[in-house]
Structure 1
Amino acid sequence: MDQSIYYHTFQVSSKDCTKHKTIKLPNLLDHMQEAAWSNAIALGFSTIDLMENNITWVMNRMRTEIHRLPNHREEIRVETWPAAMDKYFTKRDFRVWGDHEELLVEATSNWLVMDISTRKLIAIPEYIKEAKFVVDRNNVYPISGKINYDSNLTTQSRNIKVSWFDIDINDHVNNIKYYQWILDSLSGDYLENHRLKKIDITFKHEGKYGDEFESKSYLDEAENCWFHTLDHKQSGVSHIVA
């Protein structure tokens, strides 16, 4: 297999950056997903390919560990590959490399297959499993455990309404938007004075155009980390936890 299909390179542009000249996390994640898209196309199992059979990929969970965010004009190499597969899940891993082969970011993600007509999750079809495109490239440690949000501890909240521009090719909210919404729940002063080291997010339900959500969060002093949930305003159902 051509080794180049596992890599996506780019230079951090000014539009990607904060005023501190480092890339915004949602923008970096967007580049990582473009790498995943390119890899899936090369393997013949992209979202577009699956849509021909009335199915599509949906992300269920992603854990990202950040050693350092890339700087403006830094040349970045995103490495991504399908790392495991079982009856329902396929695991995709990422590493982001900076100048001088410095490891900047490691991430792992779990993906499911959804029937487009019914919007129901299904087992991974046999023809996908038979392709045997899973590889071991020093795989990232898998995700374990559940994220639990205690609504009684909520200290911050904000309201969100899904706009037309939040919707992606799968006709639901693109997962990058969720990252932005939960980080926006923190104050600007807090973001200015703290560095994000790790984010673990579970995607539980689709968000659709016009949906209204309440983004809620609290700081767990014992764990020294923030917990987040995005609750549907009408149903009260949590769509993501982090």
Structure 2
Amino acid sequence: MTDILDKVGCYKFLAEPFHCDFSKHLFMGHLGNHMLNAADFHSNERGYGMSYLNPIHKTWVLSRLAIEMTEMPISYDEFNIETWVDGVMKFFTSRNFTVVSPDSNKIYGYGKSIWAMIDTDTRQPVDILAIHDGLILDYVDKERQCPIAKSSRVKMSADAKLVRTIDTNYSDVDVNGHINSVKYIEHILDLWNLDWYVHNKIKRFEIAYVAECHCGDKLNFYCEHTSEDEYCIRITKSFKINAEEVEVVRSKVNFVKD
């Protein structure tokens, strides 16, 4: 048995210039991708990551993600993502993130996430506590705080408007064989044009993954302006053989005037 590592992992990242938008701030999608990488590094180092799970036909999938930022890293900024697990149940685990400068003098923001483990053959949930006799429990840190709110239930009315339909293609598909979690974030944020982002910045982003999508599915985006600074989005998929729509994602975006 390997030695028990620290419960909190810390990983270095760089706001690469071509991962930044017109304002030289890191794209939210790339920040989300860095958080997912930090989660992968953390779990692999501790023995319950995808490098162990994939050969036994299991994998982690993201269920919910909330990101709340005070400030976004700008081009060439170095920053750390600290991550830790703060709760484990049979089929789900919760993981937090802090985005911080290398000297810890500046906290850019935080993230909260929920993950599930699935069997890659059946696509059904797997008992997380059965992996290495519940090894993940040794890494639960309930003391360290993440001050942002948990993901909320995104409520939308029947008045939500269909604002876009897109095809899914090769570059939308990830290592798990389904549409990449971060690609949904990018597609959602593309619902607002460049001029909108000149005058508004993202304060908080939430996304909940309801069902899997695969290459070739059409994605339909419904949007509703639910309060002064809040928009809710529902994504459905359409099947090739009929017009039936199935909900796959719900999201909420809060903006603040820049």
TM-score higher than 0.5 here?
yes
Q: Within 5 A, what are the aligned runs for 1:187-226?
A: 187-221=193-227, 224-226=229-231
- The residue type paired with residue 181 of structure 1 is H
Alpha-carbon distance in structure 2 between the residues aligned to 1:99 and 1:71: 14
2:176 aligned with 1:167, yes or no?
no
SS in 2 for 1:120: coil
Q: Cα distance 1:9–1:152, how it changes in 2: closer, same or farther (>3 A)?
A: same
Q: Which of 135, 141, 154 is equivalent to 1:135?
A: 141
Higher deviation after alignment, 114-123 or 88-97: 114-123
SS in 2 for 1:39: helix
- In the alignment of these two chains, the number of paired residues is 240
Q: Cα distance 1:105–1:15, how it changes in 2: closer, same or farther (>3 A)?
A: same
Alpha-carbon distance in structure 2 between the residues aligned to 1:137 and 1:29: 24
For residues 179-229 of structure 1, the C-alpha deviation after alignment (integer angstroms, 9 at most, x for no partner) is 00111112222222111000111100111011111122121136x300001
Alpha-carbon distance in structure 1 between the residues aligned to 2:56 and 2:66: 29
- The residue type paired with residue 131 of structure 2 is Y
- Please list every run of 5 or more consecutive structure 1 residues that lacks an aligned counterpart in the other structure: none
Q: Which of 230, 236, 240 is equivalent to 1:231?
A: 236
Higher deviation after alignment, 109-118 or 137-146: 137-146
Kept after mapping to 2: 8 A contact 1:64/1:107: yes
Instruction: Give how far 1:137 is off.
Output: 5.4
Instruction: Give how far 1:100 is off.
Output: 4.9
Alpha-carbon distance in structure 1 between the residues aligned to 2:117 and 2:7: 26
Alpha-carbon distance in structure 2 between the residues aligned to 1:4 and 1:122: 23
Alpha-carbon distance in structure 2 between the residues aligned to 1:144 and 1:158: 25
Kept after mapping to 2: 8 A contact 1:62/1:110: yes
For residues 61-82 of structure 1, the C-alpha deviation after alignment (integer angstroms, 9 at most, x for no partner) is 1111111101111110110112
2:120 aligned with 1:113, yes or no?
no
Q: Cα distance 1:195–1:41, how it changes in 2: closer, same or farther (>3 A)?
A: same
2:57 aligned with 1:54, yes or no?
yes
Kept after mapping to 1: 8 A contact 2:168/2:215: yes
What is the TM-score of this pair, normalised by structure 1? 0.91
Instruction: Give how far 1:129 is off.
Output: 5.8
Alignment partner, residue 24 of structure 1: 27
Q: Cα distance 1:99–1:119, how it changes in 2: closer, same or farther (>3 A)?
A: closer
Alpha-carbon distance in structure 1 between the residues aligned to 2:178 and 2:93: 20
Kept after mapping to 2: 8 A contact 1:149/1:241: no
For residues 93-127 of structure 1, the C-alpha deviation after alignment (integer angstroms, 9 at most, x for no partner) is 10000265211111110011112111122332423
Instruction: Give how far 1:29 is off.
Output: 1.2
Q: Within 5 A, what are the aligned runs for 1:5-154?
A: 6-98=9-101, 100-101=103-104, 102-128=106-132, 130-131=134-135, 132=137, 133-136=139-142, 138-140=144-146, 143=150, 145-154=152-161
**What CA RMSD, in Å, does the superposition of the two structures yield over aligned residues?**
2.0
Instruction: Give how far 1:136 is off.
Output: 3.5
Kept after mapping to 2: 8 A contact 1:157/1:217: yes
- Please list every run of 5 or more consecutive structure 2 residues that lacks an aligned counterpart in the other structure: 252-258
Alpha-carbon distance in structure 2 between the residues aligned to 1:122 and 1:9: 31
Alpha-carbon distance in structure 2 between the residues aligned to 1:151 and 1:186: 21
